[in-house]
Every structure is written in C-alpha cells, then in structure tokens.
Structure 1
Amino acid sequence: METVTIWENRMAFNSTFDGHTINLNGETGADGKRLGFGPKALLLSGLAGCSGIDVVEILNKMKVEFTKFEIVCDADAVEEHPKIFKDIHITYKINADKSNEDKVRRAIDLSLEKYCGVAAMLRKNSAIIPKLEFID
C-alpha cells in the first residue's frame, strides 16, 4: 500500500491513493472551523470505515437486515506532545430489528477485536470504547 501526499500551499496537502484524492488542511478559518480534514480526523474516519466494512460484511453473513448504519467516532487528544488520543468512543447507530441486538453486538466485537487492522493499531495507544444505538 502506498499513498502520495503533496503540499499545495500554507497548511494544505492532497493525498492520493490508487487514483483517489483527499484534501488535508491544518488551518482554521475565520469561523473557527477546520478548512479540511486533519490527520487525526482521518484516523477516526479510517477506524469508522474499517470497522463499518467489517460489521456490514458480518451482518450480511448473519442475514441481519438493516436500512441505516452510521458510525460516530469521538476522541480528545492529550495536551502534551505528541498529542495522541485519549479514549476513542465509537458509536454504532443502526436501524435494524431490536431482536438482532446480540448479533449486531457480536459483529461489532468481532470487528474491533479480530478483523479491523485500524482498531488494532490505534488500540496500542488508546482504549476504544464501543456503544450501540438503535435508530429509526
């Protein structure tokens, strides 16, 4: 696996992988919002995507039907450098029959403990705390 990240200007970079490009930006606009994804936000998105793909595959194999699936990752960084994440909270929101709760929890556990390489890497420095919510 190889990515190529090129500085564009100021604190802006473009990173390319397999013909796809994402923008990263370390600056904050006048409104206080980031001008683009920062590296740590990409880590959280990577965790959500990695685990989400696992969970969808596992639920499909378990024949658990769902109509919506959303993953929210939240983490604060420590104050001192390097500013690594404290605990990472990952909330799985799913619209599925509540009778499948045990299967959904099993899929999440399998992802975080066995299959998701991003979770395995992040877990070496930060606790990953999952939560499940059923939504409409």
Structure 2
Amino acid sequence: MKTTTIWKGGKSYESIHPNKSTIHIDAAGGFNPKALLLSGLASCSGVDIVDILEKMRVPFADLKIEVEADQTEEYPRVFKDINIVYSIATDEENRDKVIKAIDLSLEKYCGVAAMLKKNSKINYTLTIQAV
C-alpha cells in the first residue's frame, strides 16, 4: 500500500493513491489527519459488516457509522477512548446477527481497528431502525 502526499500551502495537503484518487487534508479545518483515522475505522468496519451481513443473508439498509474519540491532554494528543455508534435499518430479529458482524469486524477483520486498539479502547453501541 502506498500514497503520496503533497503540501499545498499552510496546513493543506493533497494525498494521492496510485489509482489517481485524491483526498484533500486540511489540519486547519475540514478533514484533518485524525478525522481521517476515524473515517478509516468507520469505513473499514463498515466494509466488513456489509460483507458479513450479506453472507448471512440478513436484509438491511441505511448503515450509518458515527465515530467520536477523546484525546489525551498531553502531546502527542492521541486517542484515549473511541466510541462508535452503528445505526442500521433491519428487523429487530436480526440484532444478534448484526452484533456478531460488528464483533467479527472489530475483533478479527478490520486492520484499522487492530492498529488503533493497540493504544485506544474501542466501544460501540448499536441502534436498529425499523425497515
């Protein structure tokens, strides 16, 4: 895996993936590096969860993942606790399967979670919305 990041002035950067996709990073506002880490955690886990639920043949829609982290006061200001809220539209009877998919993602498959767990506690809650 490789990316190339180019300083654009001030606290602004552009990161380029080898497939030519780009993302704008701005430490002064917008998506800063730590916000990208949280987005990476959400999308990594989301990819796993969707894949697992599809393999389980669980019908669902509208998966939304909100991630928030507390940081230490001292530098480098690292994440202490990371809290994830998974919201998904499915039947309540699928709750245990959704929990299993989340647990498999966070404990086994999501590499971003594995890296962040070395320094931070990851907690989650699940909200099921009726279909």
Q: TM-score range by the shorter chain?
A: over 0.9
Shift of 1:26: 1.3
> Could you say which residue in structure 2 is the equivalent of 1:3?
3
Q: Which sections of structure 1, spanning at least 5 residues, go unmatched?
A: 28-33
SS in 2 for 1:2: coil
Matched residue type, 1:87: D
User: How many equivalent pairs are there?
Assistant: 129
Counting aligned pairs with the same residue, the percent is 54
Cα distance in 2 for residues equivalent to 1:117 and 1:76 = 21
Q: Distance in 1 between matches of 2:61 and 2:126?
A: 15
- Give the match for residue 122 of structure 1: 116
Q: For residues 1-136 of structure 1, what are the structure 2 equivalents within 5 Å?
A: 1-17=1-17, 18-27=19-28, 34=29, 36-136=30-130
Counterparts of 1:130 and 1:19, CA distance in 2? 34
Distance in structure 2 (CA, Å) of the matches to 1:91 and 1:128:
11
Taking structure 2 as the reference length, what is the TM-score of the superposition? 0.96
Q: Could you tell me how far 1:135 is from its partner in structure 2?
A: 2.2
SS at match of 2:2: coil
TM-score normalised by the chain length of structure 1: 0.93
Deviations 1:103-130 (A, max 9, x none): 0000000000000000000000000001
Aligned partner letter, 2:81: D
CA RMSD in angstroms comes to 0.7
The separation in 1 between residues aligned to 2:27 and 2:61, in whole angstroms, is 35
